[in-house]
Structure 1
Amino acid sequence: MPLVRLSFNTGKTQAWRQAVSDAVQQAMIETINVPPTDRFHVMSEHAPGFLMIDPTYFDVARSDDPLIVQITFRSGRTDDQKRALYRRLTELLAESPGIRPQDVMISLVENALVDWSFGEGVAHYVPA
């Protein structure tokens, strides 16, 4: 049930976008028990100057080509699972499409089962 929002600079190829989506999905499958078919990814391209990322925050040397990954999912994952997700996701993104781990920012947003509707105005996880 995660909803993944991916923000990056304009000009990426379809193959790059697919590789990013695949890496995110694989990392979630491996580390936080997301089913393989539970893929809901929203990609947003941004023109130069629309992603304001500090180049050295926490002493991380970032380039001018960031990827921001925001994952909204139900609460309940452990700190160790979240750390494993961060680690595995940056490993997979480095493999394909070749994104530097320093350029990947990940933010997790947790909510409850009742906060999800997958259509028809129904809270699918918490039926009435």
Structure 2
Amino acid sequence: MPLVRIDLSNKHSESFARQVGDIVYNVMREQINVPEDDKFQIITRHDSMELNIPKSYLGIEYSEGIIFIQATISFGRTVEVKKNLYKAICGSLVQTLGVRPQDVFINLLEVDKENWSFGNGEMQYADKD
């Protein structure tokens, strides 16, 4: 865990998209203790017509460079930990790739540990704390 989905415009190169994935993974390792090799990501580049976004929301102006990051994680992190995660992902994307901070959209989905199977039809985390 986590399962991360990253959606962005195909105006961004495949290399750029891969770097976004690497940054998200590294920040999650630092901020929410994601284990080494626990890197499950689906990265999709879209035509501009496939990303339907408002010009602005909550006073934030978006551009065609928007990056959607959605991570499914197990329950158990505090609001403070999540805030730090959002700030660290955004800061790393801004610093490393020159992404506009306004274009970093992050959503976390929290699930119980028994909702994960990493293969073999088993529920690997069901009995772990």
**C-alpha RMSD over aligned residues:** 1.2
What whole-Å deviation, never above 9, does each CA across 1:50-73 have from its counterpart, x for those lacking one? Answer: 111112101011112210000000
Ranges of 4+ aligned residues in structure 1 off by more than 3 Å? none
Aligned residue pairs: how many? 127
Identity %: 35
CA distance in 2, matches of 1:123, 1:14: 33
| 2:23/2:93 contact within 8 Å kept | yes
Gaps in structure 1 of 5+ consecutive residues:
none
Q: Which moved more, 1:100-109 or 1:29-38?
A: 29-38
Q: Matched residue of 2:48: which SS? A: coil
Gaps in structure 2 of 5+ consecutive residues:
none
Give TM-score, length-normalised by structure 2: 0.92
Q: Which amino acid aligns with 2:64?
A: D
1:78 aligns with 2:73: no
Q: Matched residue of 2:105: which SS? A: strand
Q: Which amino acid aligns with 2:20?
A: V
What whole-Å deviation, never above 9, does each CA across 1:30-87 have from its counterpart, x for those lacking one? Answer: 2111123210110111111111111210101111221000000000100000000000
1:63 aligns with 2:63: yes
